Amino acid sequence: MRDALAPKPNESDEKVLSSIRRLLDFFLGDLDAASTDQAAVLASSNSPAVLRSLVPDAGTLARGRALLPILQENQQDMRAFGLQIVGRLAELQTSRALGLVRSRIGTSTR
């Protein structure tokens, strides 16, 4: 039934969806979720270099801490922007689904 309204995403679509999820997590204030997916993939590795890359250095931590007040100050605007993105994506998905249905109806009536 799912394929009736939305075609199965290809590899390029999956990459776009993954990027959109990360952006939305960021704009909606879930700062941990943006790094969780990548960290989960990397954490399954036994490579010392990969494991070291998961631990931020002191400079990275300092930059992150310096950004926190800015992110907190702009949190409402970022959430509003994230919700605008979600709304637009919903419009695009609806258009895509209707286009797919239209093309299937058009080919079945001929």
Asked if residue 66 belongs to a domain, the reply is yes
Do the domain assignments include residue 56? yes
Q: Report whether 34 contacts 25 (CB < 8 A).
A: yes
Q: What is the pLDDT of residue 77?
A: 92
pLDDT at position 29 over 80: no
Parent domain of 38: 10-108
Is position 93 within any domain?
yes
Number of C-beta neighbours around residue 27 at 10 A: 20
Question: Is the residue at 58 inside a domain?
Answer: yes
Domain for residue 4, yes or no?
no
> What does pTM read for this prediction?
0.53
Backbone conformation region of residue 50, classed left if phi is above 0, alpha if psi is from -120 to 50, else beta: alpha
Q: What is the pLDDT of residue 39?
A: 56
Helix (H) or strand (E) holding 4: helix 2-5
Residues 42-100: tens digit of each pLDDT? 556 667 766 666 677 788 888 888 988 988 899 899 889 988 988 888 888 888 888 88
Tens digits of residue pLDDT in 31-41: 666 555 555 55
**What per-residue confidence (pLDDT) applies to 105?**
85
Beta carbons of 23 and 83 less than 8 angstroms apart:
no
Nearest Cα residue to 28 out of 68, 92, 88, 77 = 77
Structure-token pair, residue 67: 């950004």
- Domain assignment present for residue 3? The answer is no
Tally of domains in the chain: 1
Report which of residues 110 and 68 the model is more confident about: 68
Distance (Å, rounded) from C-alpha 72 to C-alpha 68? 6
